[in-house]
Amino acid sequence: MKKSNAIIILLCMLLLLAGISYIDFFGVDASGSGSASTIKLGLDLAGGVSITYQVVGDNEPSATDMSDTIAKLQKRVENYSTEAIVYQEGTNRINIEIPGVKDANAILQELGRPGSLYFIAQTDSEGNANYTYTGQGKCGYSLNKSIDELLADGSILVVGTDVKDAQEKSGQNNLGNMEYTVSLTMTSEGTEKFAQATKNAYEKGETLAIYYDGDFVSVPTVSGVFTDGQASITQISGHEEADSLASTIRIGGLKLELEELHSKVVGAQLGVEAIETSLKAGVIGLGIVIVFMIAVYLIPGLASSIALCLYVALVVLLLKGFDMTLTLSGVAGIILSIGMAVDANVIIYARIREEIASGVQVKSAIDSGFKKAFSAIFDGNITTLIAAAVLGVKGSGTVKGFAITLAIGVALSMFTALVVSRLIVNALYAVGVRSPKAFGKEPGFKTIGFVNKKAIFFIISAAVVAVGAITMVVNGVAGKGAFNLGLDFVGGTSTQVEFDKDYSISEIETDIIPFISEITKDNDIQTQKVDSSNDIIFKTRSLNQDERTDLYNMFEEKFGVSEECITQETISGVISGEMTRDAIIAVLWSVVLMLIYIWIRFSDFKMASSAIIALAHDVLVVLTFYALSRISVTSAFIACILTVIGYSVNDTIVIFDRIRENRARLTVENEETLKDLANKSLTQTLSRTICTSFTTLVMVVMLYILGVESIRLFAFPLTIGTICGTYSSIGIAVALWYVMSVKKSKKN
């Protein structure tokens, strides 16, 4: 590379960093469009709209129907935000909270009134018209019979619950004109019904009307018999009409008919202070990581610092580009990713220093370092991307949001490490920074016998997991539950109080929460302010009648609030059983696919199975920590476990990659040579392991020190998971691989 070209590259990198940072801070126009300030924030940071629906009818709905309706509504509202939540209130109410919006009426208009939807044949079995064109109503049609009569005479074969999904689609037809359609997907039971309904209509040359909430929403002509459960509604005038029709059909697939009871705009649960303290933790942590990288890796450390700053700027830019909703856990996740993003750079620079230490010239060492580090970086990040892809497809709610954020972080870390860092390092070399001293020298560790201590590692791990299992059983038998499940999982009591003054978030935390906590004997208390009022909603664990009475008395004695200004409801958890099952299934699929990928890439099932066992070990240790400490298990728990999984596998793969490389030089494989191979590979990657663990822990510890209480509940167990992930890679995964390899060699 010519010196002039190198200078241009360095200037371009700095200008790119400055340009993206400017957009992040100020946006692309005077209104600040595209800036970080316009990123959608979750309910905990910015509040949003809260809508309460009530089941129509006098009969109390069954628990199954309520659960089914909540699950389907959750899927609907995720179109607005992956962080939107749906939960049960009382016995016949459903509450929806959508972050980042302030216009409840607009949401209600788009969401529609969840009710019954029917596909009605044009004529009955005797040829009598079920509906006629009158020019009135949305589509100009009116019913000739009641819905009950149509159901009785078989004119309605398909109802809303038979529809699995409905999506708006657009594209150009053969003539080049835009066409707007609604694509329908039926359930397995609905497929048979829809085939019969379209067969009847097609043979008669009739329409099949879609009727919802007392009106016709579409009266399409049937152009064939649809037996595969797939169909499209065509001849729609525009995108808005198609999108509205698709939304109506989706919302009409609920088992219960709902009516709006009330809606309100709720304020942030945590407020500006939570964002400020988390960002402060991120800035301080980033500064420490940059100083550490430059101190340890010198010129390459400087290059990685520039690449790391660009990584942060790009993450913020893409969060806005992907229209992500950012919660406080998401902010913490991004801050944590800064520490983990350094990993790829550490792998590369450790390799460069190894090459220089072996006598290779600096330029060759740079090229060789990037080349030799590529496989470890690629395999480690691909396994994480596999997990992110499965979580994004199979997961729901916060899991889906986490998966997208994770995928963005992984892809960007690979780009900045393999492309940006390489360009900067080569450019710095080209402008004259060529002394081996400027690139450092890998410290030579005497080979450490990690594998020799495998029995100790196995005993320690088995003891910790056993303690966790016993603790969970004891807690369960004692009636406390294996874990201290928080409001997000088990629900509790919602108390709305009308005060005579407007309390700030900080005043609520200092002046009110301690009194509530004294009654509930629990710190898991969520608060929300109701916009344009002095009302505050307090969500606590389920309270018995005595505790509810104590709460009423406390508000009256301490704050002068009369009983009629207090309302209480029992609420369900916002993380439904279906969402939890989706998360578990997604994790299991991720593990299976990672197992297959590692097996194929390393051509060694022993490595793949060892990595997965070590991963399971780390998850069990974190669960043990939750069981012993009785820390409240909130929605952040899912993010914590998923982060530990990604970190654990990535760490193990780096070591296995070195084993694979060194193994190719072995001429004989027996018990001693395999032990030497494992110990040597572990020792060679030790500096990388220490540096990556340090940078990750720096970010986590800063979050714990400076973050608010809910972030500490995320950071503390994550610290345990990070330490455990490092330990299991060294003491468990490699030791297991060695034991399995020795057994196989003895059999052969």
Residue 455 confidence class, pLDDT cut points 50, 70, 90: very high
Which residue, among 565, 560, 494, 498, has the nearest Cα to 525 in the 3D structure? Answer: 494
Strand partners, 527: 538
Q: Which two tokens stand for residue 591?
A: 């593990």
What are the distances in angstroms from CA 739 to CA 424, 572, 609? 43, 48, 12
Contact between 366 and 6 (Cβ < 8 Å): no
Does position 280 have pLDDT exceeding 70, yes or no?
yes
Residue 131 confidence class, pLDDT cut points 50, 70, 90: very high
Residue 218: the pLDDT is: 83
DSSP state of 564: G
Question: Angle at CA 41, nearest 5°, toward 39 and 44?
Answer: 165
Distance (Å, whole) CA 364 – CA 352: 9
Residue 137: the pLDDT is: 60
Residue 335 confidence class, pLDDT cut points 50, 70, 90: low
Which residue, among 635, 628, 613, 631, has the nearest Cα to 473 in the 3D structure? Answer: 628
DSSP state of 420: I
Does position 275 have pLDDT exceeding 80, yes or no?
no
Strand partners, 536: 497, 529
CATH number of 117-253: 3.30.1360.200
Does position 712 have pLDDT exceeding 90, yes or no?
no
Instruction: For residue 452, give the H/E element and its range.
Output: none
DSSP state of 190: H
Which residue, among 455, 458, 535, 466, has the nearest Cα to 494 in the 3D structure? Answer: 535
Does position 222 have pLDDT exceeding 70, yes or no?
yes
Residue 748 confidence class, pLDDT cut points 50, 70, 90: low
Give the tens place of pLDDT for each residue, 53-88.
888 877 788 887 888 788 777 777 776 777 788 888
Mean per-residue pLDDT, 173-183: 79
Residue 591: the pLDDT is: 85
Q: Which two tokens stand for residue 162?
A: 């038979």
Overall pTM > 0.85: no
Which residue, among 260, 263, 233, has the nearest Cα to 246 in the 3D structure? Answer: 233
What are the distances in angstroms from CA 351 to CA 26, 295, 347, 369, 729? 39, 17, 6, 5, 19
Residue 689 confidence class, pLDDT cut points 50, 70, 90: confident
Contact between 469 and 617 (Cβ < 8 Å): no
Mean pLDDT of the chain: 83
For 492-571, CATH number out of 3.30.70, 3.40.30, 3.40.50, 3.90.320 equals 3.30.70
So what's the architecture of 272-467+577-747 in CATH?
Up-down Bundle (1.20)
Mean per-residue pLDDT, 568-596: 79
Question: Angle at CA 287, nearest 5°, toward 431 and 270?
Answer: 140
Q: Which residue has the higher pLDDT, 113 or 133?
A: 133
What is the share, in percent, of the chain residues with pLDDT greater than 90? Answer: 19
